[in-house]
Amino acid sequence: MKHENKVAIVTGAAQGIGKACAERLFADGAIVVLSDINQEQAEAAAMDLDPSGKRAVAIRCDVGIRTEIKKLVEDVVARFGRLDIMVNNAGITCTTPAIDLTEEELDRVLNVNLKGCYFGTQEAARVMIGQRQGGSIVNMSSAQAELVIPDRVPYGISKAAINQITRIFAIALARQNVRVNAVGPGTILTPLSLGMNKNEAAYRRVLSRTPMGRVGRADEVSGIVSFLASDDASYVTGQTVYADGGRAYLNYTVPVDDELPELKL
């Protein structure tokens, strides 16, 4: 298995894409630390992976607080002796129009998405550069790093910045055997996006801007994360891989079938 005996942290791992990343890394042989602000949900996800608690554990962390990120990394290294993979996935959003966005809303999203990713990368890198085997960091970007949704202002700002964080650290760490990459999902089926089952118009809008004609699956993101974290990607750094069904390069809308694809996890 390509991650056998490697130690990985996944933030925001209690559900959705983060949980899928933890599941894939675990399946590929890693010891996985599922970190989330929701401790109970993270523990349940870890228990589902490994009831013995030897290869999957949950540690609570609010990535919007720098000291908690530092403690998370320190606790993992103290417990397992190393850190090979860091997946900075935790993120939040808000839906306030640009003209009405408050400072508090901006700060809340940037603290989690932007600062959480920056300091997660920084703390992981500090450990990895001291290891002979180095390490790999994968940041969760978004199609919205390149595209605009006017009522997702701080989210788009944070994801665009994550791409630059990824490039900066990739170059800074290139000679120290630490690779840094990102994945940019489009619309992915998660418990949150299931809300489109009750809003056909919103679902049709999503499909109209997705050339492949469907939303993505969380495992279609986690597979890329596992690849980027693996030795198969040993010469890849500073890249953002978009898993968006072709959305980023669409300059028009595409037809939507009368019968919509079923949304089901």
Residue 24 lies in a domain: yes
Residue 209 lies in a domain: no
pLDDT band at 195 (very low <50, low <70, confident <90, very high): confident
Residue 207 lies in a domain: no
pLDDT of 118 higher than 90: yes
Residue 119 lies in a domain: yes
Any idea what the CATH number is for the domain that residue 101 is in? 3.40.50.720
Structure tokens at 221: 């993101």
Query: DSSP states of 7-71 as a string?
Result: EEEEET-SSHHHHHHHHHHHHTT-EEEEEES-HHHHHHHHHHH-TTSSSEEEEE--TTSHHHHHH
Catalytically annotated residues = 155
Secondary element (H or E) of residue 128 = helix 116-128
* Residue range 24-82, pLDDT digits in tens: 999 999 999 999 999 999 999 999 999 999 999 999 999 999 999 999 999 999 999 99
Expressed as residue numbers, the domain containing 227 is: 7-186+218-249
pTM of the model: 0.95
Query: DSSP states of 201-218 as a string?
Result: HHHHHHHHT-TTSSPEEH
Number of independent structural domains in the chain:
1
* Residue range 6-20, pLDDT digits in tens: 999 999 999 999 999
Residue 213 lies in a domain: no
Residue 14 lies in a domain: yes
Residue 259 lies in a domain: no
End-to-end C-alpha distance for the chain, whole angstroms = 27
Block residue for tokens 């349940």 = 44
Residue 109 lies in a domain: yes
pLDDT of 254 higher than 90: no
